[in-house]
Amino acid sequence: MACSSLLGQSGETPSLRGMANSLDISHAAVAQTLKLLETKGYIRRLGRYSRNIVILDKPGAMNAEHRKKVVPIVGRITAGLPIYATREWDGSLMVDDALFPGDNLFALKIQGQSMKNAGILDRDIAICRPRQYAVDREIVVALINGEEATVKRFFLHPDHIELRAENPAFRPQTYGFDDVMIQGKVIGIIRSAQVMDEE
């Protein structure tokens, strides 16, 4: 903000005329801008005719910071054929609690294209809520035979569990009830490019 930089240089708020000269705009334009900034909560003027101005934090900036939380990234799993799950953390990322509410969330790196029609692409980060049950048609993280983890859409049948890909190139997989352990529900996706930008 120009007002902020001017204040930082001198330690005092410049006059409206001084700001107008520095910014090469009219006195009236400065007055209108200051009034708008005050209305939006960016500044506070100490008295109607006082040139003393207090520059405030951007509204919601602190709240946005407070909404951030750390989510650990579990080792890479597959969105194609299952691969062995890892129990080691593979870093972490910051997420907005307003977008991904809940406690003890975890993230997974996706490998493969079997879920592409659900918008889950290779190298995406899946944000997951830990849960040991699934509702029909939910996209879940499933541990198969206690060793292999995969992300698939869940279907419950009378005599088996079906884990279905969102890509016609991959056939549905069926398992006995004792062969599948639900680890969580996928509640959102972060593109790998977004994670790189944040880093």
Instruction: Count Cβ atoms within 10 A of the Cβ of residue 176 and give its class: 0-12 exposed, 13-18 middle, 19 or more buried.
Output: exposed
CA angle 39, 41, 42 (to 5 degrees): 110
**CB of 90 closer than 8 Å to CB of 111:** no
**DSSP letter (8 states) at residue 116:** G
> Which pair of tokens denotes residue 12?
């005092």
**Nearest in space to 139 (alpha carbons), one of 123, 124, 128:** 128
For the annotated catalytic residues, the residue numbers are 114, 152
State which H helix or E strand residue 184 sits in: strand 180-190
Collapsing DSSP states into helix, strand and coil, what is residue 34? Answer: helix
Distance CA 105, CA 55 (A): 37
Going by their DSSP bridges, the two strands 139-144 and 180-190 should be labelled as: antiparallel
